[in-house]
């Protein structure tokens, strides 16, 4: 059993809607790349925060926190349990623990920085972040343009280092949170990832990427599955100096998905409140939820 099937089973058993915590499934134009719920799955269980954004919409973990808290306030009136599922690390943490009150960034700051990223690349911005906020420079994933850009946006807007605004407080929530992590033996997980990518290709991922190609500079499309196919379409070169083939691009999607899964595991395992299960151990998961919610 995979995560999707497990969540549908749990949602049916506990009469719960599903709230997505996948930052890319919110974009309606890339359902294949994001493995978004199918129409049949959405008819079976009510889903929220899936396909609710246009591809050029700006969204953040802070806004996710606001949206889910508002949803929870409404949905708890008719449900005892709400199921949140997904692997966007900052979104999960924003919901469970809160996020620092970072100011909204106006377009006259965001757009010039984005244009610099597109024209000059990420390294230039990383070096500027090192000057403006050396503390956050040491902490941030310097290969993640979204993190680097956002930190610079805040520095520009406030005149202070981004790290000064990150207090790390834990917000109170008017509901109990039960955190469940899913894990499999590495070889089994990697094989499932490879099969999933092959299925995405069969379902039309290449055509989806071609439709999105004119908009490839958008941050929403800087995601595994799109960026590798964009490189192939651009005629990018491999480290050996050979043009990317479609086969090479697909292999890179599989590789980068495996890398991302390891990052997720490292991130979530730092939280001692998360209880880990094999997704095939459905009854143990059900028993654990009942024990924590009754």
Q: What is the DSSP code string of 58-110? A: ---HHHHHHHHHHHHHHHTTT-S--EEE---HHHHHHHHH----PPPPPHHHH
Q: pLDDT by residue (tens digit) across 35-83?
A: 999 999 999 999 999 999 999 998 888 889 999 999 999 999 999 999 9
Mean pLDDT over 127-142 rounds to 89
Domains, the chain:
3-100+176-293 (3.40.50.300), 107-165 (1.10.20.140)
Task: State the distance between the two ends of the chain, measured CA to CA, in whole angstroms.
Answer: 26
Instruction: State the pLDDT confidence band at 11, using cuts at 50, 70 and 90.
Output: very high
Q: pLDDT by residue (tens digit) across 92-107?
A: 988 998 876 666 788 8
CA distance 105 to 87: 25
- Exposed (0-12), middle (13-18) or buried (19+): which is 74, by Cβ within 10 Å? exposed
Q: pLDDT by residue (tens digit) across 156-180?
A: 887 878 877 765 667 889 999 999 9
Mean pLDDT over 273-293 rounds to 95
Q: Nearest to residue 35, comparing CAs of 21, 25, 49, 23? A: 25
Q: pLDDT by residue (tens digit) across 199-240?
A: 999 999 999 999 999 999 888 998 999 999 999 999 999 889
Which residues are CB-neighbours of 262 under 8 A, at least 6 positions away?
Answer: none
Mean pLDDT over 255-273 rounds to 90
SS3 state of residue 201:
helix
């Amino acid at each position: 059993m995979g995560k999707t099937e497990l969540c549908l089973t749990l949602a049916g058993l506990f009469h719960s809607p599903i709230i997505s915590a996948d930052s890319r499934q919110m974009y309606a134009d890339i359902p294949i790349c994001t493995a978004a719920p199918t129409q049949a799955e959405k008819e079976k269980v009510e889903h929220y925060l899936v396909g609710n954004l246009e591809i050029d919409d700006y969204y953040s973990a802070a806004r996710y926190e606001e949206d889910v808290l508002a949803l929870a306030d409404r949905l708890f009136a008719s449900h005892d349990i709400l199921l949140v599922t997904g692997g966007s690390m900052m979104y999960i943490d924003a919901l469970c623990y809160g996020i620092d009150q970072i100011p909204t960034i106006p377009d006259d700051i965001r757009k010039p920085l984005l244009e610099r990223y597109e024209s000059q690349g990420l390294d230039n911005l990383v070096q500027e972040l090192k000057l403006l906020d050396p503390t956050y420079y040491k902490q941030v994933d310097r290969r993640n343009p979204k993190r680097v850009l956002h930190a610079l946006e805040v520095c520009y807007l406030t005149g202070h280092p981004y790290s000064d605004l990150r207090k790390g407080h834990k917000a109170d929530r008017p509901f109990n949170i039960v955190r469940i992590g899913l894990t499999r033996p590495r070889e089994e997980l990697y094989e499932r990832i490879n099969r999933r990518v092959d299925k995405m290709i069969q379902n039309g991922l290449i055509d989806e990427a071609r439709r999105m190609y004119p908009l490839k500079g958008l941050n929403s499309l800087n995601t595994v599955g799109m960026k590798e196919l964009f490189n192939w379409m651009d005629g990018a070169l491999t480290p050996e100096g050979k043009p990317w083939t479609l086969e090479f691009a697909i292999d890179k999607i599989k590789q980068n998905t495996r890398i991302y899964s390891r990052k997720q595991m490292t991130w979530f395992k730092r939280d001692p409140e998360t209880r880990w299960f094999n997704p095939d151990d459905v009854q143990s998961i059900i028993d654990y939820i009942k024990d924590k919610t009754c």
